[in-house]
Amino acid sequence: GAASKGNYRHFMLKEIFEQPAVIGAALEGRLGEASALAESFGPEAPALFAQTRQIQLIACGTSYHAGLVARYWLERYAGVPVQIEVASEFRYRHPVVADGTLFVTLSQSGETADTLAALRFAKALGYVGSLAICNVPGSSLVRESDLALMTRAGPEIGVASTKAFTTQLIALMLLTLAVGKGRASAGEQAEIVAALKTLPDICRQVLALDGDIETLAQAFAEKRHALFLGRGAHFPVALEGALKLKEISYIHAEGYPAGELKHGPLALVDSEMPVISVAPNDALLEKLKSNLQEVRARGGELFVFADEGVGIDDSEDDVTVLYLPPVHEALAPLLYTLPLQLLSYHVAVLKGTDVDQPRNLAKSVTVE
Ligand code: G6P
């Protein structure tokens, strides 16, 4: 049943392990050969997408991090300019809305008070239309938006969002493919479509690293601070990794774009602050490697999640590398999220916190 933990110790762990299946569900019937089917977003979607020249993304919490990843995708593969903001800031600004801007909200629950208020506020501002990417059919956000795409993650009980986040990323990649303005060639798009179809299997391979990650978690149990680094579309992955750790293990964690290290956080790096980095095999890898060198030079202990094909010297005690299977570059942010979820989960279990119901937090924040 939906509210049963099955053989898992916590809902969060169960939901982490459900990801291959729900990612498959989120893709079901929504892909063409070299695109995503615009009609999946609703009957009006093809007409609205044709008018869309830019996108405003709005969300809170983990959903906001999904939007941050999507900005890279929508610009790189769809050629659509994107603005993104947390709902609680957007709704109190005086936004200037460019012609042809689609207003997109991201929300697991569809009931987050600030996100809903932002949508209502946006209605009078001249957007071409609104789209909700949401996990709960019939929620307020879905009912009040012109278009909607359900993420099909199924009920998420753990307060710390996991499968809702990765299925939001799937939905956002579908949006990227569906609103594409020809920046990515049909061939490039077909490659992404093919990669999406193999993603559930690759996720399964990554989840099989659970035991290794549980071992690695021991290094964090006694720490008070942690720093997560990523570059490009993996900067939001670092933010999400830090959010997960702070939410459930109560360890202070920050996510930083690795290139900003020398503009502040480097001052904090010592043997007491572990640094976690995601290092997929992309154009920014060499730059990231030199950022990691800066950490080592300051006596920091490094934990790197890297592509198998990436050579990172882990012969010294101060570096631990865990290798992930190769994946299409576009989908790496989704894949690299999984080990960070498992890491925060195991650290929280070691610390004995209430993993599924962390103190002071609510699953859905329906008050302002
Ligand atoms: C709360 C939850 C988070 C969630 C955020 C936004 O803070 O604890 O896990 O990301 O709300 O919720 P939504 O339902 O709008 O995605």
Structure tokens at 112: 């987050």
Q: How far is the CA of 290 from the centre of ligand 1 (A)?
A: 35
Under DSSP, is residue 124 helix (H, G, I), strand (E, B) or coil?
coil
Atom 11, ligand 1: residue with shortest CA distance: 364
Q: Among the atoms of ligand 1, which is closest to the Cα of residue 164?
A: 16
Q: How far is the CA of 59 from the centre of ligand 1 (A)?
A: 9
Question: How confident is the model over 107-122, as pLDDT tens digits?
Answer: 999 999 999 999 999 9
pLDDT at 2: 55
Substitution candidate for ligand 1 out of 112, 115, 116, 156 with most atoms within 8 A of CB: 112
Q: Is 107 in the pocket of ligand 1 (CB under 6 A)?
A: yes
Q: Which of 68, 368, 9, 353 is nearest to 233 (CA)?
A: 68
Phi, psi torsion values for 252, nearest 5 degrees? -65, 125
Substitution candidate for ligand 1 out of 11, 60, 142, 367 with most atoms within 8 A of CB: 60
Detail the DSSP E strand segments found in the chain: 54-59, 82-86, 101-107, 129-134, 147-150, 225-230, 252-257, 275-279, 302-307, 319-324
User: What amino acid positions are annotated as catalytic residues?
Assistant: 363
- What is the C-alpha separation between 249 and 280, in angstroms, rounded? 26
pLDDT at 45: 98
Question: How confident is the model over 304-353, as pLDDT tens digits?
Answer: 999 988 878 787 788 999 999 999 999 999 999 999 999 999 999 999 99
Task: Supply the pTM of this predicted model.
Answer: 0.97
> What are the residue ranges in the chain where pLDDT is below 70?
1-2
- What is the C-alpha separation between 173 and 171, in angstroms, rounded? 5
Q: Among the atoms of ligand 1, which is closest to the Cα of residue 361?
A: 8
Under DSSP, is residue 357 helix (H, G, I), strand (E, B) or coil?
coil
Substitution candidate for ligand 1 out of 133, 145, 159, 161 with most atoms within 8 A of CB: 161
Cross-strand pairs, 147: 131
- For the four alpha carbons of 20, 23, 25 and 28, in that order, the dihedral sign comes to negative
Residue 36, C-beta contacts closer than 8 angstroms, at least 6 positions apart: 30, 173, 174, 175, 176, 177, 178, 193
CA atoms within 13 A on the CB side of 46: 5
pLDDT at 1: 47
Q: Is 125 in the pocket of ligand 1 (CB under 6 A)?
A: no
